[in-house]
Structure formats: C-alpha cells, structure tokens
Structure 1
Amino acid sequence: MAGPSAVSTYIVVGAGVFGASTALELVKAGHKVTVLERSQDGFHSPDAASNDLNKIVRADYSDPHYRDLAKETISIWRRSPLLSRFYHETGVLFRSGHNSTEGDAYLDVGVARANEAGSTLLEQPHPGKKLKPSAYHIKSGEEALRCFPPAVRPRLGECISKIGSRAADGQQGYFNARGGWAEADHATRAVLQEAIRLGAQVVSHAQVDEVLFDQGDKTRVVGVKTADGRSFFAGGPDGHVILCAGAWTRGLLKRIAPEQFDAWAPMAPTAQCVITVQLDEEQRRAFKDLPVVFNIETGFYCFEPDEHGLVKAAFHCEGYQRPLPDPSIPSTYPTFTTQQDGPVDESLVSTRAAPRVPADTPQRLLQELGLVYPELAKLKIDSDRICFYSESEDENWIIDYLPRAKGLILAGGDSGHAFKFLPILGQLVCARLGHSQVPSLTPHQDRVFSFAYHTELARQNERVTSSSASASSSSAQATLRGRL
C-alpha cells in the first residue's frame, strides 16, 4: 500500500469495476499507477455494486454496439486465465410474464440481435470446446423445462411450463445458452490483485475530497487530496486523474467542483433492491447449474446458488432515490431500511427514480422467486441489501475528459450493466487517453461516451414535460432498461 503524498503517472479514484479494470490495463502497459479507495482494505467498498455475489453476463442487447462489445467480452470471460474461473455459462432465460405485444417485441429483438450475421463471428468458445446454441424462442413448456437440469425440473413453478403458450395464463420466452453469470466480488478483486502484482499501488481509507490544480494553469488537474489531508499527484506530461467512483460520482463532483457541478454530473445514483436466501446442502446440490431467469414484465431476476448455497434475487428497474450513497468510509452495505427517511439532496437524485424502497419489497422478491422455484419461497430471507447504480441519461457510459479540466477523466455511468464488461473497461479508458496499445474508440463510442453527448441529452430531457416523460418511460421500458 502506498503512503501519503505519492506521485504516479495515473491516479485512479475508486477500486470498483471501472477502477480495477483501468488500473490493470494501465499497469500492464508499464505505467505507474496509484489506486485510491475509501474502503478499509483498498479493494472495492462493502457498499459498492461490485461487492456482490453475482451479475448477469449476456450479449443479446437491443443496441448492436453493446451487443458486439459484449460478445467480444464474453469470449474473454471464457478464455482468460485470470477471469474464466469466475464465469458460469449456465444460460439466461427471459420470460414475458404474460402474453403481450410489448413482451413479444422485446423477445424478438433479443433473439434477432443474438443471431445477426456478422456478430456471431465475434464469439469464441471455451478452450477446447464448441460454442453452445445461440438464442432461440421457446415454443412450448417442454422446451422451457429442457433449459434446466433434469433433477430440478419437477421442482419448477408453473410459470416455466407455461412459456410458449398463447393461453390466457401463458407467456412467451427465449433462452440463450451463451450467457450466464459471473462472481462479481471475486472477479473484481482478482483484477485489482493482478494490477497490484504487476506494480500498482493501492491506498486504503482514501476518501477524495478535493482536486489539486497546477499553480501556473488553474485548468489543469495535477492530483487529489483526501479527507485526512494526504495529497497524491499525477506527475509527468502524461499525468492524469481518473475518477471511477461509481454511484458516488455525482456527490464527489459536487464536493470537488461545486461551481462546475451542473456541467460535470450528467448521471445520478439510484438504489436497487437485492435479497438472498440460504439453501440447505440438498437444495444447493439440486439447484446447481440453473440458468439465470429474468421476468421482463417486473424486472425480477434470480440465479443459481453460489458455492455456499446462497441464492440471489433482485429487481432491475428505474430504482429509488433513497438511500443515497454515503461518502463516509463504510462498514457494511446498506439495507432496504437504511436512511430511508429524512431530507435528501435533490441535486443528487435521479428524477426518474421513485422516492423510497417500498416496505413490501423483500416479500415481493420472495414471492417472485417462488413463482420460479416454489419451495424457495418458504425460506426465510437471509439478507437484503441496496445495490447502487450510477444512471446516465440513456444507459450509455461516460468515459471522457471533464469539461474545462485538463488531465481529469471520468469513467462511469454504469447504469446497471457495466460489470459484464470488466475484462475490457480499462481498454476503453486507455483508448480515451489515446494509448496506442489498445484499439481506438469507434466513432460511435467516441460520441456516446462523451460529456458533450450526455450533457446535451440531459438538457433535452429537462425540456420534456413530466407527463410526456412518464409516458416515454413506460413505452420505452423494453429497450431503456434492456441493458442489464
């Protein structure tokens, strides 16, 4: 661990998915890197989204740019000596919840995008193996059951056997075997640990509260200062500070540059809801190798049990304004009831998010889990937690220099779908830096990852009336929230 007043070519603020990936890519290229993290051990904080059992890994995006990027990334998950052990290709099953035109459209786009000519050339299998079947529509309940291991099929809920039915209580679905999930906490730690092995310095208990400017050029950022008074400098002509603070980014920008806050912060934190239930050993073995199951009608999704028998279930939605991410050094992750009341800084919250987590959220999650696996709904909730997203205006990330601040780059706006790109996020940041050892940003990426794009989009959205904004949010649900 580095000491105070350190000098590195690159200062990376935050050790989550963007920060760890960026640190590794930079140190692999031979640069001197210091990572500042507010946690006690220097790895991602306990309340960070990266500190999670698992995240969905899939490539069938409605946006072909992310689709192609995800297919390349999943190939790395399969083949990387560092990361392959954390990736579980159990497949992803999407179901519509009930028969609807909107649900059919979402499913059709997912299958079509997954199978488009050209994109399939981006996919590489696990070493020594063939690629699994690509995405396909599920035509019957029997076909839906075959997406699950034989031993668990008698223990599935009726909602699975009704996929493919056009009856009143039926629904539609599709399955993509070329996806699954990854161990979020373990994979992110492994990436940062590899960066440390290659020479990166990591500083714990480092809550950044100030950016430091060059005395001769007040527009050039040369370092940062932490709440306890330590200073860290980005030295040399290539020196940069890279902010990778996740859901804490908006609050951090307001602290370090209040006069430029409006121009610097076109993203906002939202609180998302997660529960876990504890299976016994017999259940853990029986429910092993399950696909991820996602209900596009409600945003509910769930995973197979981890090695300890914990099953995670969550809602993917527009999220909640409370609780806000706490910038103080954390001791644990927040629960549904943490900081739900009291005043909230309106300049930090997402206007699309609901005010607070409904009190019945844990039971609704458990009920949804029971629709898929009835016996699991009888279990007690082992834990509940808030997973923080940093929402951009349209779920494109922000990877760009901050306006009127030379040497300061922001990498964030994860919008709930950045983790699956852990193997390549650092490459995108290095591409923005202009490094030659990584592929350049495509013209599309250069545009949609830019501050100019996001600030203009934010201004456009501000001009939309509340009534039309509500209608737009509802009609666009299948695509806007499609990047899980």
Structure 2
Amino acid sequence: MTQTDDSYLIIGAGVFGASTALHLIRKYPNSKIRLVDREPFPPQNAASWDLNKVVRADYDDIFYTEKALEAKELWRWDPLFKPFYHESGIFWISDAELASKISDNYKKLNAKEDFRLVSLDEAKTAYDGMFEAADYSGVSQILINKSSGWAEAKEALKATIQASVDAGVEYTATDIVGVEFDKNGACIGARSKSEEMFRARKTILCTGAGTARLLADSSPYREDIQVDGRLVAAGICTGFVELNDKLAEEFSKAPVGVQDLLPGRGGSLPPTVRHELKYWRDVSVRNSIKHASGQVFSAPPDKPLYDQWEVPQTLKDEVRYVSESLFGKREDLKISNHRLCWESVTPSNDFIISAHPRCAGLHVATGGSFHGWKFLPILGKYVLQMLDGTIDPALAKRWAWDRENLEPDLKDSFVAAA
C-alpha cells in the first residue's frame, strides 16, 4: 500500500475492525483502506467468530442502554443486518436491583421495549415452563424483555466484511507481527510475518486479545506505547448441545436465558438452524506470559486458532453448572463440544476507541469486554468520528486510551455480560 493522505490500515477483522472498515469506505469511497487479519474472513480466532451472540439493550448503565438501542434499530431494519437478527426475547434471573435499573433506564429513555417484571410463580410458567427448574436463589422478580434477542455471529460478521470489500476495501489475509515506526516514533503502518510492509497514514489496532502482545513485539522497550493494564486478554468457556428433533421443537421458541447470579452465572442462546443450543459461563480465565521485554501480561495461547477447542475439564464442569442453573439437571441436554473464546477486557468494561496519545498515526479500537459484539452496526461510526476528530468529548473521555478508571491490576473474574 502506498502511503497517501487518505490511507487507512485496519489490523484485525473482528467486530471493531469489520465495522470500522464498513463505515470508513461508506464515508470515504475513494480512500485506500486495507483490512488485515491472519485468516480469510471471518477470522475464526476472533471473539466475533461464533454461532450466535446476544443482542440486547438491557444494561444497568444508561450510557450503553442508549447505544445498544441505537444498534438494535439497525439489527431490526437495516438490510445488511436484519437477515441475521432473531428477536426471541430474553429471560433474566437477576437480583432486584439490576432488574430495577434496567427498567428505569428504559423509562428514562422512553424506549419502546416490550419488557415487564414478573413474579417467580409467573416466571416458572413462562415459555411453557421452560425455566421451571431454574435456580432462583436470592431472586424475587424476573425481568422478561421480548424486544431483545440474538444474531448469527459469524454470518453477520462475514456479511459486514463482504459489504466493505464490495465497496472497495482491500482485505488481506496475513499475520501481522509488528507495528512500524518512523525515526520520530510515529506509526507508519505494520509488517507481516513474511516481511511485507503495509504503509498507511492512519493505523487502527482492532486486535482484541492480541493487542498487548502486538505492541510488545512491535517495540519491546518503548514503555510509552504499551498496554500496561488498560486491557487484559481473558477467555470464557462456551458449550454446545446438539438437539434432536424433539428437543429442537421444545426449544424452538426459547428466549435468551441469563443466570446473572453466582454460583451459576452465565446464560444460554436459542438453537441455531442446525439445532445447536449454546451456553456461556460468565467467569473468565487468563493466560499470563512473560514477554522478552520483561512485561508480564495475559495473551491467548500462541497456537493456531489459540487452541480454542482444547478446554480443561474444570471449565467444562462450569458450563454444565450453567445449564443446570437454567434448566435443572437434564440428562437429555448433554454438552457435546466446548470452546474457549478470547476477548480483550478493560477495567470498567468500557471500550477503547482512541488515538494513541504517545504515538502519532496509531489508533486503537478494541476492548469489547464480552459485550461489544452487539454494537457491530454502529461501532465503526464512533471509530470514524474518533479518526476525524469529531467525536463527542464525553465519548472521547469515556473511551480514551488514558482514563481515570484505569486500574493497575484487573480482577481474575469479570462480569462478562454477553
């Protein structure tokens, strides 16, 4: 790529990278825009590559409630996203405080969401008694929102990337091993494992769980550009049940199920067209490494596809417990496969959408924190505003590389609100 005044290099084709590419090419159709990932799209090592993901605006933080409502409108009506969205509803087993905050946020925003708080007796008969055997310990009311749902994850991601390619984005499947700098320390692009150089005026890291390792590899002893606790690579375990025809019929009208209380925190997603029921366990793990620079940070295993399908038995047991917390002990819901999904998590679960304050030409858009996927239709809009310098100052502050909520040590477990 020849460096020009309108050239962009996006590294990482997950949810942040795909959305950024699409919004960039739509606004600047004559720009040189390259999207790079180690695999043909959609990249299977990305957290965005999955059977399905939750699409909801049920947040206790009104900021993300408002942003998710914006995204949901596109999931419902935009021809690009609508084919992949399924408004199944969501069933929340949570404490009264969370349910109340979600309800209050919708009322404050005058949101047209079809939600209600129901008693435990009513909850146990909802959806033909599907959740009758759930663990309701410490719960007094259940929030049911029929306006929430889920989307086909890898299919939606692939369609987004294809739309950007059709509009003029260049997609390159290669393994980026380092960001490149000029003599003044400014970013001028990146290099691949095969020593190919990709130059650009603006480089955007949408590298998720691999961000800390990439920056450390790029300039090991340049302390001013390192992640340094701003985000951590974390993995959560998911499990899949292959439903027979009878079970597929039973779960055909299932909502997203969320068990938001320990010890069974996690959830389930309704069956795909191939009759696969998915669970997630809402506790994360790390893979701490000592880098050659002396830094210690978490990074996904340095193996093909991060070895996502090699899951320890302890994590498998955790996913089984989620199933029991939602549907009781059922021998017919046998989990046949597991996956360890790696994501970048920030201390506050806020995204990072920011110019790097100590490296001209380098920008960062990541930190999905296990809840960012649902914003696929709109993330690129805000990345574009950041790149153009037009982003609202309040958003810039909340999503900054340097911000007040930065903590030096992240907890071992995160509230991974899908």
TM-score (normalizing by structure 2): 0.88
SS in 2 for 1:202: strand
Change (3 A) 1:51 1:376: farther
Pairwise CA distance, 1:282: 2.4
In structure 2, what is the equivalent of residue 457 of structure 1?
A: 405
Residue number among 360, 370, 375 corresponding to 1:406 in the alignment: 360
Query: How far apart, CA to CA, are the structure 2 residues paired with 1:384 and 1:84?
Result: 28
Q: How much does 1:362 deviate?
A: 1.6
Asked if residue 212 in structure 1 is aligned to residue 187 in structure 2, the reply is no
Runs of 4+ residues over 4 Å off in structure 1: 5-8, 168-171, 374-377
Within 2, Cα distance between the matches of 1:244 and 1:92? 29
Q: Which runs of 5+ in 2 are unaligned?
A: 289-297
Quote the Cα distance in structure 2 between the aligned partners of 1:291 and 1:37: 34
State the Cα distance separating 1:285 from its structure 2 match. Answer: 2.4
CA 1:219 to 1:324, structure 2 compared with 1: closer, same or farther past 3 Å? Answer: closer
SS of corresponding position for 2:185:
strand
Write the letter of the residue equivalent to 2:44. Answer: P
User: Could you tell me how far apart the structure 1 residues matched to 2:129 and 2:190 are?
Assistant: 58
Report what 1:243 is aligned to: 205
Cross-structure match for 2:35: 35
**Counterparts of residues 49-448 of structure 1 (less than 5 Å):** 49-96=47-94, 103-116=95-108, 118-120=109-111, 133=114, 135-146=115-126, 148=127, 153-154=128-129, 156-159=131-134, 171-204=140-173, 206-215=174-183, 218-234=184-200, 239-261=201-223, 263-265=225-227, 266-298=230-262, 299-321=265-287, 324-327=299-302, 329-330=304-305, 333-337=308-312, 359-374=313-328, 376-434=330-388, 440-448=390-398
SS in 2 for 1:158: coil
Residue 158 of structure 1 aligns with an amino acid whose one-letter code is A
For residues 158-194 of structure 1, what are the alpha-carbon distances to aligned partners after superposition, in whole Å with 9 as ceiling and x for unaligned?
228xx6xxxx886432111121111111111110010
Counterpart-to-counterpart distance in 2, 1:170 and 1:393: 27
* Structure 2: distance between partners of 1:261 and 1:281: 57
**Is the CA contact (8 Å cut-off) linking 1:403 and 1:451 kept in structure 2?**
yes
Shift of 1:441: 2.6
Following superposition, the deviation at residue 232 of structure 1 comes to 0.8
Q: 1:376 to 1:44 in 2, by over 3 A?
A: farther
Q: Is the 8 A contact 2:8 2:34 kept in 1?
A: yes
- Offset at 1:332? 6.1
Shift of 1:55: 1.2
- Letter in structure 2 aligned against 1:104: A
Aligned pair count reads 401
2:91 counterpart SS class: strand
Larger displacement relative to structure 2 (310-319 or 78-87):
310-319
Which structure would you say has the larger Rg?
A: 1
Aligned to 1:353: none
Q: Distance in 1 between matches of 2:58 and 2:305?
A: 36
Distance in 1 (alpha carbons) for counterparts of 2:330 and 2:224: 46
Deviations along 1:65-98, one digit per CA (max 9) or x if unpaired, are 11111111111110010001111111111113xx
Partners of 2:329 and 2:274 in 1: how far apart?
18
Partner secondary structure for residue 234 of structure 2 = strand
The 1:178/1:441 distance shift into structure 2, 3 A limit, reads: farther
Q: CA deviation at 1:112?
A: 1.4
Q: CA RMSD for the aligned pairs?
A: 2.6
- Asked if structure 1 preserves the Cα contact closer than 8 Å seen for 2:52 and 2:152, the reply is yes
Aligned residue identity for 1:221: C
In the alignment, what sits opposite 2:291?
none
- 2:92/2:143 contact within 8 Å kept: yes
- In structure 1, runs of 5+ residues without a counterpart are 97-102, 121-130, 338-358
Q: Cα deviation per residue 1:254-312 (whole Å; 9 max; x = unaligned)? A: 11122334653111101111110100122212211211111111321001111001111
- Of stretches 25-34 and 416-425 in structure 1, the one that deviates more from structure 2 is 25-34
Conserved 8 A contact 1:395-1:483 = no
Deviation track 1:125-168 (CA, whole Å, cap 9, x = no partner) reads xxxxxx552x321124235533x2xxxx25544228xx6xxxx8
Q: How far apart, in 1, do the equivalents of 2:78 and 2:307 lie?
A: 31
CA distance in 1, matches of 2:77, 2:373: 17
Counterpart secondary structure, 1:381: coil
Residue type matched to 1:295 in 2? Q
Structure 1's 230 and 318: CA in aligned 2 closer, same or farther, altered over 3 A? same
> How does the TM-score come out when normalised to structure 1?
0.77
Whether the aligned pair in 2 keeps the contact of 1:47 and 1:332 (CA below 8 Å) is: no
- Residue identity over aligned pairs, in percent, reads 26
* Structure 1 range deviating more: 53-62 or 206-215: 206-215
Question: Whose strand proportion is higher, 1 or 2?
Answer: 2
Partner of 2:8: 10
